[in-house]
Amino acid sequence: MSRTSSNGVTSRRPRPMEPMGRARYIVMMGLVLIGLGLLAGRIVDLHVFERTFLKGQGDARTLRVDEIPAHRGMITDRHGSPLAISTPVVTLWANPQDVPEDGIQRLRLAQALGQDLDALNKRLARYSEREFMYLERRMTPGAAQKVLDLRVPGVHARKEYKRYYPAGEVAAQLIGVTNIDDKGQEGLELAYQPYLAGVPGKRRVLKDRRGRLVRDLEVLKEAEPGGDLTLSIDQSLQYMAYRELKAAVEKNDADGGTLVMLDADTGEVLAMANQPSYNPNNRASLDPAGLRNQAIVDTFEPGSVIKPLAMSALLETGKFPPDTVVDTSPGWMVIDGYTIRDVSNNGKLTLTGILRKSSNIGMSKLTLQLDKPVVPRRYRALGFGSAPGTGFPGEATGSVPSPRVWSSSQWAALSYGYGLSVSALQLASAYTAIANHGKRLPPSLLRLDQAPQGKPVIEPAIADKVLGMMDEVVAPGTGARRGMVPGYRVAGKTGTVRKVGSDGYQQSTYRALFVGIAPVSDPRIITVVMIDHPRGDEYYGGAIAAPVFSRVAGSALRMLDVPPDRSSQDDDDE
């Protein structure tokens, strides 16, 4: 309905809202109010009732617990000279999702890392769905800082430690190595891993959503540094022994060799060298053969160097007086179908003569007069067939046979060093009984505060008797004469052993050995030298291993300030 005003303008009167429209309006306004009410209720719920939960969720995305690396303990020689130390390094890592795709930035990053740009791009693409990847492990702090100075987004640093070995290849197999995570993998690094590693600490830090450190908040647990390990070896003696062994292996074109020097008073290992070796500071061209500590983990038939130990068992039976003479003619004999030979026909020999001439016939004839296996029993008492107990990973036990019924050939073979296996360390340890009036000392790779008591295994008078016999073995005109040391009396024994191949004993492959104790008047060192497969006209222990002993023992005795027990006049006369 409309009407006309006095000025002629027509106006319309508003229509009243229809019932349907009013209902729709009320419903819409009600829904809006309900929604607002629910929203307000949720806000109150979040800020009042679920505040603790939300705070925890927020902290979980910003607060982190990081590990504080523990400083690995140092390994030193007996005088404190470092053999293994940990130096601080920096590891660079990246969040691939944050590294920009800008070609210039990536090129600069690759150049600073010393990496190929294409290779870096491929790695970033491969880890694109992850938030972590290593860019470069264990960089020097200076080199890492040059990369960080580029300020490339997504690139971060982490402090770590890297193991360094000042002695290099000289003591590599004994000390061992750690892996890229600074965990022991070989040698004493592996054997004492828990002790050396220490216990990492923990700290709470604040990080942004991209994992970048914002602030250190608190230290939850301090890192406990690893303990220091003091070895028994003398670094000066180790260098000297390694140098002489390496020279002998190269001179004789040998496959390798090993040398062990023990302190005769304590059983401590003063030097332990092996060939081949490797540089633990640069393992790019590592020869796996150089990883083995042959002196402890490898075994071999000892041959004639075992004869003085067998002789001690024979003398202790009381069946062989000092004036016993054995006829070794014609230089060979057959036992159980096996032919045993000497190098030559030595005729009649005294007990000392049997050792001087290294007569297999003489040892066999003496042994076969007994009705008990006294020789293998003596070997076991001296530690053969049992682990030395040094704790070194993979230390060999060797073997001494114990058949129910002994054949004559087995008894005989054991008396001249065949049919059993020993390690160089076991052999050196066994001879501590000869040097210490019958008491065997357990070998130790760690420095000892005091000498061990030792285990009596040989009657004192018999041990002293054998030591005197070995003194006469190393003399002018004998096969062991090259083991003599100017100014000092030496008790020693040579050995030359056929190596065993897939078809049995090989005809032209040998090990040359020498065992020596010096000085005889008051034994200070015991040294075992083994040269594996020397090539050339001479391959006997007296020609190959004895000269190495002479040079090493002579230098060691002077370095240890051991007074001479032999006059220079005696040396001149000889």
**Rounded to whole angstroms, what are the CA distances from 328 to 305, 313, 348, 365?**
19, 20, 6, 8
**Core vs surface per residue 18-37: b (16+ CB within 10 A) or e:** eeeeeeeeeeeeeeeeeeee
DSSP state of 17: P
Dig out the tokens for 401 from the structure. Answer: 């046979």
In the block, tokens 């890229």 appear at 180
Q: DSSP H helical segments within 252-372, as ranges?
A: 294-297, 307-316, 351-356, 360-367
- Cis status, amide bond into 519, omega within 30 of 0: yes
d(CA 555, CA 241): 9
Tell me, what amino acid is at 480? Answer: A
**Core vs surface per residue 412-447: b (16+ CB within 10 A) or e:** bbbbbbbbbbbbbbbbbbbbbbbbbbbbbbebbbbb
Dig out the tokens for 350 from the structure. Answer: 């005294």
Non-local (6+) Cβ contacts of 278 within 8 A are 169, 172, 286, 287, 290, 291
Non-local (6+) Cβ contacts of 198 within 8 A are 70, 71, 72, 73, 223, 224, 225, 226, 227
Q: How wide is the angle at C-alpha 506 spanned by C-alphas 500 and 511, nearest 5°? A: 65
Does 312 qualify as catalytic in the annotation?
no
Closest CA to 154 of 64, 217, 92, 61: 92
d(CA 427, CA 417): 12
Closest CA to 395 of 121, 190, 133: 190
Catalytic residue among 86, 277, 304, 358: 304
Non-local (6+) Cβ contacts of 145 within 8 A are 90
d(CA 498, CA 484): 25
What are the residue numbers of the active site?
A: 304
